[in-house]
Amino acid sequence: MIKAILFDLDNTLLDLYKLKQMAIEAAVAAMIDAGLKVSRKKIISEIDKIYREKGIEYQKVFDDLLKRLIGKVDYKILASGISAYRKIKNAHLDPYPTVIPTLTKLLKKGYKLGIISDAPKLQIWTRLCDTKLQHFFDFVISAEDTKKKPSTLPFRYALKELKLKPHEVLMVGDSIEKDIIGAKKIGMKTALARYGKVKEKIVGVKRTKEKIDVKPDFVLTKFEDILKIVEKSL
């Protein structure tokens, strides 16, 4: 019987990759408008390299970009890019459709809910607060608390927080390699968020075919499918 559900954040609860693409496009246009005399194609390519080198959560990407392209940080250009990026992010950061009503139903049914994400802890909580999701979750576990997925450490940490056995917990995430493998290794039930898979080229995101040696127990084509899973576990 499932008593708790753990969620990855990005591309499981929030469509972050597409949002990031939109924000980067806006930032590039703003920096060119502010005087950056480099082609859009070159700027996008360099941003992609930086994210691949330092991770998709790297916060100084535009600083590094300007140092590489013009040898210094021009603060007018930097501020223009950051401002445009934030405007898009703040205007379009939303949960997937039905996330809030589904989480509300899960709470009413008595399920404990938590987050396991590789993003920095402050970024996790900021995104949750920005999307009004912060009150749904009992706890958040980031790589800063243990290690990055697919290490079993964050999943074991979650079990201690929940005081439950592995088979009583469902892990929901968009990555077989990170979310499904780590959770299944310690005996958790798993659900792959197929709707969150990257289907196009996104800046800083390497689209690769994941190994499917370990298969999820369930596949979600839409977020609210979780309700059917927990009903079957009763």
Q: What is the pLDDT of residue 18?
A: 82
Say if 4-15+95-232 and 17-92 have the same CATH topology.
no
Which residue is it, tokens 């709470």? 107
The ranges assigned to domains in the chain are 4-15+95-232, 17-92
Say whether pLDDT at 130 is over 70: yes
Q: Which residue has the higher pLDDT, 214 or 66?
A: 66
Averaged pLDDT, 4-19? 92
- Which band of pLDDT confidence, cut at 50, 70 and 90, is reported for residue 112? very high
- Which band of pLDDT confidence, cut at 50, 70 and 90, is reported for residue 117? very high
Residue 95's DSSP bridge partners are 14
Say whether pLDDT at 55 is over 80: yes
**Domain 17-92 in this protein, CATH class:** mainly alpha
Q: 97 CB contacts (<8 Å, ≥6 apart)?
A: 222, 223
Report whether CATH 3.40.50.1000 matches the domain 4-15+95-232. Answer: yes
| pTM for the model | 0.84
Which tokens is 176 given? 């077989």
Lowest-pLDDT choice from 49-63, 68-82, 155-169: 49-63
